[in-house]
Amino acid sequence: WSRTSFLLERRLEADDITLQTLDRGFSEVLEEPVLGVPDARPVRQYLIELTLDGYRRHVRAADDVQRGSLRQADALSKAAKLSRELDKSSTESRKLLEEALAVCEKSALVDGDGENNDSQVDYLRVHSDILVQLGVLDVADGSLESAKSRFEHAERLRSDWVQRVKGEPAEAEAIRKLANAMMNQGIVLRRLEEYGQAEAKQWNAQTLRNEQIHAGKRDAKLRFDTAKANTNLALLAATENNFTEALDRCTQAVALFEELGVERANDVRVWGGLADVLLLQADLLIQSDNSLARGTNVHRDGAIDSLLDAIGILDNLAQTSLNHPLSALEYLENGQAALFLCWEVASQDPDSVATDDLQVSWANLAEKLNVLLQREIEDPDVQDRAKILQVQLLLVKSSLFDSAKESLATLDKAAAIANELANSGRASADAAKFELERIDFHRQQFIEGK
């Protein structure tokens, strides 16, 4: 990223920027999130800013009519994606995409005879990418009918794209993107309560992906998309109380993410995806047997294993994100929630051997949080959230492995932190008051010997 940033700086200064150079920066920042490099995030952000500036300049300088228009649309589309990466509102992205759509449609009119297959393939790729991005923004805005229309249009374009590149190396990418458009369409159809069509669309999308994988296509993006889709399908099956299918989808997703984790050990998205599906798998194992309360849940050990694995991944992600407090905090919050759930499940079995693992997991999360608290966090809301998390971890500690005397002292420490926040008048006051109620409940339990 640093080398590419340096190259872009020099080219931008000399006003000698090529689309090939910009595309290199674009693919690097969007396709290779790095795990384990503490200073990677600001370097990546700077590269995004440089690439975005380059695309804007390229748009202004686009020359020959057909190729220029299509490249201009492609540049605008990629600029929109980069704009969203910088955590800006969707307003700028939508503006760039609407302009890209108009330019793209203009380029189609220039080459309307369709004889130039390469040009048509580029057009189908760029146009469908723009439509999918707009559809995603529509979903976020609640405009589901508009999103449905865009995803349907994108599917038609990508089906044509697949036919035009059949038997060529580019076929794999075209099929992968066609499946993505179909899956997005299925999600919107479910939101519109058109369940039959949604199920058919998502089933067909996943069938396309599985056919590619079974045919020996081991493209990492394809397997990642398949794993994410299996996670989403598991969630949907669970909402319909079909736990058998949901757990089967989770198993498939875990296998793919673990395979990718071996090949792409530094890819944040792979590990984040694996943590998500492990947490879902644990939740499904717990839900699928309502005998948990009687302490006879046959899925208990599987749930505990999934939760402990997820906590380990979240702890590692937090470690690598300590220079970005909000991201680190979100990983730690999810880790704490999983830890508490794991303790609840394990506590149903007096013979559970998970206590030692839970203590190690607790210590690891607490260590990362202490590092975070010792640093100067500029955002007061993030700082308060970190303190709330500290209270929650102390609550777990008091229940998990403190003696009765130590537990009361731990609860006093948690109460002192929560009281300070409750009286601060800031947004965190309500959350702190809720934690104080939990502390009082725990204290009463210990006093009564429960």
pLDDT in the model for residue 25: 79
Contact criterion met (CB below 8 Å) for 76 and 97: yes
d(CA 244, CA 256): 19
Which range is most confident: 52-56, 65-69, 103-107, 176-180?
A: 176-180
pLDDT in the model for residue 293: 44
103 residue type, one letter? V
DSSP H helices in 321-403? 325-346, 355-374, 380-400
Q: Is the pLDDT of residue 292 over 50?
A: no
Quick: pLDDT tens for 172-229: 899 999 999 999 999 899 889 898 898 899 889 989 998 888 888 778 888 999 999 9
Least confident of 21-30, 65-74, 292-301, 371-380: 292-301
d(CA 242, CA 237): 5
Q: Is the pLDDT of residue 160 over 90?
A: yes
Under the banding of pLDDT at 50, 70 and 90, the label for residue 399 is confident
pLDDT in the model for residue 213: 86
pTM, rounded to two decimals: 0.78
d(CA 424, CA 189): 45
Q: Is the pLDDT of residue 305 over 80?
A: yes
- The number of residues making up the chain comes to 450
Contact criterion met (CB below 8 Å) for 187 and 138: no
pLDDT in the model for residue 65: 41
Burial class (CB in 10 A: 0-12, 13-18, 19+), 201: buried
